[in-house]
Amino acid sequence: MERKSTGIGLYLSQMAAKKLGHQITVESKLGEGSSFTIDLAEYPLRSE
């Protein structure tokens, strides 16, 4: 059974990541799938 998606989940994830100052990247290979990465390297950490 093949399932189709609307893409809304990726859109919402991207919007949330942007608001938090992160970046989502994707690598795709035809017939193999896709890999999504959220870059947290630029996240400003605070100590309390």
Q: Is 3 a domain residue?
A: no
pTM of the model: 0.59
Which range of residues forms the domain containing residue 17? 8-39
Q: Is 35 a domain residue?
A: yes
State the pLDDT at residue 42. 64
Q: Is 16 a domain residue?
A: yes
Structural domain count, the chain: 1
**Alpha-carbon distance 1 to 24, whole Å?**
29
Q: Is 45 a domain residue?
A: no
- pLDDT reading at 44 higher than 70: no
pLDDT band with cut points at 50, 70 and 90 for residue 43: low
Q: Is the separation of the CB atoms in 20 and 37 below 8 Å? A: no
Q: Is 1 a domain residue?
A: no
pLDDT digits (tens, 9 = 90+) for 1-40: 677 777 788 899 999 988 888 889 999 999 998 899 988 7
State the pLDDT at residue 15. 92
